[in-house]
A and B are shown apart, each in its own frame.
Chain A
Amino acid sequence: MAGDIVVGYDGSDGSKAALRVAVSVARAFDAPLAVVFGYEVIPVGGETADYKKRVEAIGAAVVSEAVKAAGELDPAVKAEGLVVPERPVDSLLSVAKSRQARVIVVGGNGERPLMGVILGSVPHKLLHRSSIPVLVVPAPDGV
């Protein structure tokens, strides 16, 4: 498979907006859609196995919800959900690379600006690091 549309999805309003746009982009190109949930568990402080499993379970739930929503938006789009154990930015980049993706779609202001500065903003980092086009979708107003 090549030319996938990769969309970052974590269940936030920004990512929901991104999903809607990603579905129509996928439709326009007649390309498969990869819905990516990236997570990283801090290894400092000892073992993490069952904590990680819980996060994975949440990721799986969030992502299958997104795949279902994509199917409802446009039944013709083939959507696949992926839960990737890497930082969000890294997970988007590695999925994009392995699928030779056409474009990465992410939500714009999922984080409030100040939190974005402290926690790191996914679109900001992506714009600097991605070698393929990045489409940033602003979250709808009034949310």
Chain B
Amino acid sequence: MADTAERAASGAEIQLESVTKRYSGTREPAVSDVTMTIPAGKIVILVGPSGCGKTTTMRMINRLIEPTSGTITIGGEDALSLNADDLRRRIGYAIQQAGLFPHFTVAQNIAVVPGLLGWDCRRIDDRVDEMMELVGLDPAEFRRRYPRQLSGGQQQRVGVARALAADPPVLLMDEPFGAVDPITRGHLQDELLRLQAELRKTIVFVTHDFDEAVKLGDKIAVLGDRSAILQYDTPEAILANPADDTVAGFVGAGASLKQLTLLRVRDVDYRDNAITAGSEESPAALRKRMTDEGRTYALVLDARRRPERWVHVRDLSSATSLAGVGRPVGDSVSTQSTLQDALEAILVEGGNAVVTGGRGEYLGTIDIRTVTDTIQQLRDEHDGGSAAP
């Protein structure tokens, strides 16, 4: 048992090779000849319109649906030659509306797979507590509750805890956050990313929500009819350069805006050439520096170099001290912020947003040009690389 736990500590690679599912009595296969490699420790999103076979493709990995032909290997092991029940005990499974057993308590639900694997009671008990802590549910409060006594978001957390309980290397998630409100969904997505940073599982995640795919995926597979892979690439690449019109249609309007959520301010070339001044500097000296360089605005910093206010060169002629002149800096962005946040700040500030470091100190400014240049640059990059998806 110790050795399975160790082996399971992080993800395993999944390979699908010419996987096809054909239901008897139908002319077209439901899934036709899918070949893809899902890298170990990554989140891969299968995204596509309803009925495209994405769920079928996922369910063939744990053989809830048996493939008609093709091979599937998980961590190098042939999944189709194993006992299906044993296989499923080694693959976490989370579904829409959590699929919790309504007559089991939260603890019993989480304990299902460890129980099936024959862990002893002590170990299961400890594991249940650990899992509940992991997904942010207080064991003392929730252990004995029934699913009906939980909110939708809490049920999903229990669903994820149950999927992770036996520490499987692979996690299959079928629209797990589809049935909760947008705010809770956002929280659950953030939490999944936090868990994944820690656990490094191989996660196959099915959704029809492209924004969710962009947010969560290390890679996204956009699927068309019969699960044909239209494009399989990083979210950045798909947004910058959709493979064809179908993918572009699915990415939807506002691809560039979505792209902004993927980029951080630290990744772009923001400028650090604004004229700055300490509040002790005399207005006249600053005014001279500004006219020498032909600038109309300067940024006044406080003693700890944090941005305080913008001053216009006109303000300086009548001022006796830099304290209190000009307009306070409103929105600023940190290097951690997304470009979307930066754009928002740029719009609010009217042209320039101040970029600050970890302690709030001035690092530079970012303007609309920086944003548009970045997007353009990404397009060009992915255009060149589109031959090798």
Is the A/B pair a real complex? no
